Structure 1
Amino acid sequence: MGKLTRRARAKADYFGFIGAREWPLAASGLGVLLGIVTILPSAVGVVLSVVALALGVATFTRDLRLLRRRWAGFEFTSIAAPFPTAELPPPPAYPASAYLAVPARGTALVSAAIDRDLWDERHTIDIAEEPYRLPPSLKATAPHVLPLRARGRLLFNGPIVGMRGDPLPAAGARPAPVRLHRARFFDAVCSNELAALRITRTDTGEEYDLRKAELTDTSGALRELSSSALADLVGVSTVAFTTDGKLVTVRQSSLNSVSGLLLAPSGSGSLEPRDLRTSDGKPRRFLHTAVRAGMERELCEETGLTPEYVRETKVVGFARWMERGAKPEFFGLTELTVDSAEVSRGRPVSGERLYSAGLTLFDVDLAAIGAALTGGVPLSEALPERLWEDGSLPLLLALRAAAAWQAARV
């Protein structure tokens, strides 16, 4: 029943999101239905009901034609070319930042200086009182975009946390709080995920490219998160190691909307509002504790492990995933209290079984990878071949950040 429930919930979220924006059509349809069921046996009642039914049918037909005309007014084209990093330099405020492109997986903006600053765990958070709302320009395209993105996938409009601040290093004093906001997953689908699409109006030929319209600031550089108008959902991923040194990875199923059939981190997903509070309901003050809570929650959901099997999680890195609207991503390194045999017996929680095809464990020497990266070896050569070839972008970035943290401890 778990899979059937998840599928039913995905459909309910989808039709609820679309229906909230196309309610006039639903109202017309309801009028037609009421006209049919209220036909009375009296002559006058029959006449009035037939008139009402005719008006309802005419209105409903008109609204249906208008809806089809509006939905046919856009053409969507997937952008297959690599992200044009040469046309969009990193924000000047990001220290020593650079783009890291992985063929067929994506492009990320990374900064070793930001990663090292996160190790000190100094950033606090500030939660916006008002939830995120799509700006008018994106809200207008939402009913057209969602059916396209949902095709062949199971998408749920669950609660998420977005980010409206940048975890930048600050000299001396404690950095300014990083502002977070509550949102829904479909907000991200209809904002950040547009970066992979080119939208053209069929009547005018006008093109909308979110990369130019929303990701570029007035100077021509990538916008900081603090000035973004997108949902910017916070990604959280961690790589977990067993007591006998095995890396735990999750094989994604074909239903996964982002990294289908690739190897994912031990726990990977989005930060949720419940991660912003402790188990006794108190608000979390620090960025690393909220992010760590999200990482460990995803780890337990996707591996079937329980919290007592987690010894410690360290937040080790940050990036922005360019193909997904430059959304923020945090990476962690988790030390488990169990060996690989115990982990292999785990199963994901029922809600995750649609997306997970099981676990795969690898022998990975983080210290050796870190030493290689420090010596200038490319990530493609520093990582084991299987991980580089089959790993999702979050897995590769998480291993990169964890190896750098490990190397700094030696």
Structure 2
Amino acid sequence: MSLLEIRANRRRARLVRFQSRDGDNYRDLSSQLASFGPVVESAHDVGVVMTKECARLRSQTVRAELESSPYRLPRDLKIWSFDFLGRRARVAAMYNGDILGLASDLPSGDEDVVVKLRPGRYFDFFCSNLLAPFDVWEAGRKLPHLRGRELILDQHGQLMTFRRSRLANTVGVSSLAFTTDGQLILVAQAKDNVGSPGLIAPSGSGALEPRDVPQDGTGLTIGEIVLRGAERELREECHISSPEVEISEIVGHGRWISRGAMPEFCAVTLLQLTSDQVLDRAIRFVERPYVSEVLAVDLAPIVRWNPRKPLTMLPEEIRRSASWPLAFGLACLAQSIGDQSWPLRQELMKRLAQEAPSASGESSRAPTQRQQRPVRGGA
């Protein structure tokens, strides 16, 4: 029976085609997305900053609750899962780890809402959110079996809420880490990384995991859980220890439209390290399939920060290589720096003041050799 099933799957696989919609920029949704906040585009992806939810996260705690029942792939997605996984697994480094997805929406005002997190597996996310940028065709049919856009839009063409979504909606977390000499640490991801292959990512980025939830399970807040996940990813990818992290604060929440409108959160971290100290560290062996090198860069002067044009905050030579989480994080940072109540505002501005703009409006310090130097390999 197993042999017959394998043969049937192979026959079906030859008839199925997953048509990528790489050229889908979702411009037809621009006005709808703009009602949430700045629409952020990178060279490859598009998403939106949820401005009201960001303001709530920075000003008040948002309670969270972990559901006991895990996410299950809907039947109409599960039938394509083995074929989709089999084809994508040949060109990507991944494993079926435990993740947390968002099962409800964040409050946009003062309402007391409990945000629900749902356990799941990475392959479920892969076969739901990462399937959304594809249309599924079968030989001999004039219409696709599945239109990927239908996984994120309702019958009225409106973006689905997380409560109504049938996708795993893994919670993406990242951090923008600044050194004591005012440099932003970035990570160049390996070409086999599923996240943003070959692109420049935030200082640490990845998915929220069950281990990021405090063990006692009481008094949970979405901010605390996100910060734990973001700092964990930062420590893993940049080879940083907990005592070397001075403080982190959450700055934003958005939706990565090109990834099935999955939830994304970003934090800002202040390190107790110089950029040289970070760059002199070897990439951990377990991270080499995902991280190719670590960089340190100067951002543009604060007066030029614009949440609607976040990539202009970066050095020009890496703007086209920026991942969407990096562009999103910079947009949230640009919003936060204008918030007088944001706890890290004064300290971050103090660190960045070392990059004083000249009369021409450019940084007074030219890029140095070490800014482009990769982390040395080896154990």
Does TM-score exceed 0.5, indicating one fold? Answer: yes
Match of 2:153, as an amino acid?
Answer: T
Give the structure, 1 or 2, with the largest relative contact order (CA under 8 Å, sep 6 or more): 2
Deviations 1:340-370 (A, max 9, x none): 1211122333321111112110122573343
Alignment counterpart, residue 99 of structure 1, candidates 28, 34, 39: 39
Unaligned runs of at least 5 residues, structure 1: 1-23, 26-59
Distance 1:164 1:282, change over 3 A: closer
- 2:295 pairs with 1:360: yes
Identify the residue that residue 329 of structure 2 maps to in structure 1: 398
Distance in 2 between residues matched to 1:284 and 1:296, nearest whole Å: 20
Give the C-alpha shift of residue 200 in structure 1: 0.7
Q: Secondary structure at the match of 2:334?
A: helix
- 2:187 pairs with 1:245: no
Distance 1:405 1:87, change over 3 A: closer
Give the C-alpha shift of residue 72 in structure 1: 2.2
Give the C-alpha shift of residue 234 in structure 1: 0.4
- 2:56 pairs with 1:117: yes
Of 378-387 and 105-114, more deviation after overlay is shown by: 378-387
Give the C-alpha shift of residue 258 in structure 1: 3.1
Of 380-389 and 395-404, more deviation after overlay is shown by: 380-389
Identify the residue that residue 74 of structure 1 maps to in structure 2: 16
Identify the residue that residue 232 of structure 1 maps to in structure 2: 169
Contact map agreement 1:253 1:357 (CA 8 A) in 2: yes
Unaligned runs of at least 5 residues, structure 2: 346-379
Match of 2:135, as an amino acid?
Answer: R
Match of 2:37, as an amino acid?
Answer: S
Q: Secondary structure at the match of 1:82?
A: coil
Identify the residue that residue 363 of structure 2 maps to in structure 1: none
Give the C-alpha shift of residue 380 in structure 1: 4.0
Query: TM-score normalized by structure 2?
Result: 0.84
RMSD of equivalent CA atoms: 2.2
Distance 1:80 1:272, change over 3 A: same
Distance in 1 between residues matched to 2:223 and 2:89, nearest whole Å: 32
Distance 1:64 1:308, change over 3 A: closer
- 2:244 pairs with 1:309: yes
Distance 1:90 1:161, change over 3 A: farther
Contact map agreement 1:275 1:290 (CA 8 A) in 2: yes
Distance 1:225 1:88, change over 3 A: farther
- 2:272 pairs with 1:337: yes
Distance in 2 between residues matched to 1:131 and 1:260, nearest whole Å: 28
Identify the residue that residue 135 of structure 1 maps to in structure 2: 74
Distance in 2 between residues matched to 1:115 and 1:217, nearest whole Å: 24
Contact map agreement 1:236 1:330 (CA 8 A) in 2: yes
Aligned length: 341
Q: Give the helix-richer structure, 1 or 2.
A: 1
Alignment counterpart, residue 384 of structure 1, candidates 315, 328, 344: 315
Distance in 2 between residues matched to 1:168 and 1:384, nearest whole Å: 35
Distance in 1 between residues matched to 2:322 and 2:219, nearest whole Å: 32
Identify the residue that residue 274 of structure 1 maps to in structure 2: 211
Contact map agreement 2:135 2:148 (CA 8 A) in 1: no
Distance in 2 between residues matched to 1:139 and 1:86, nearest whole Å: 29
Contact map agreement 2:104 2:162 (CA 8 A) in 1: yes
- 2:144 pairs with 1:207: yes
Distance in 2 between residues matched to 1:78 and 1:65, nearest whole Å: 26
Distance 1:270 1:87, change over 3 A: same
Distance 1:296 1:66, change over 3 A: same
Deviations 1:41-99 (A, max 9, x none): xxxxxxxxxxxxxxxxxxx4x444423222223122211213324158647xx964353
Distance in 2 between residues matched to 1:132 and 1:83, nearest whole Å: 29
Q: Secondary structure at the match of 2:8?
A: helix
Identify the residue that residue 255 of structure 1 maps to in structure 2: 192
Alignment counterpart, residue 151 of structure 1, candidates 87, 90, 114: 90
Q: Quote the sequence identity (%).
A: 30
Distance in 2 between residues matched to 1:261 and 1:215, nearest whole Å: 26
Alignment counterpart, residue 197 of structure 1, candidates 128, 134, 138: 134
Q: Secondary structure at the match of 1:408?
A: coil
- 2:28 pairs with 1:86: yes
Of 110-119 and 227-236, more deviation after overlay is shown by: 110-119
Identify the residue that residue 328 of structure 1 maps to in structure 2: 263
Identify the residue that residue 164 of structure 1 maps to in structure 2: 103
Distance in 1 between residues matched to 2:116 and 2:27, nearest whole Å: 27
Query: TM-score normalized by structure 1?
Result: 0.78
Give the C-alpha shift of residue 242 in structure 1: 0.5
Match of 1:106, as an amino acid?
Answer: D
Alignment counterpart, residue 119 of structure 2, candidates 178, 182, 192: 182
- 2:345 pairs with 1:408: no
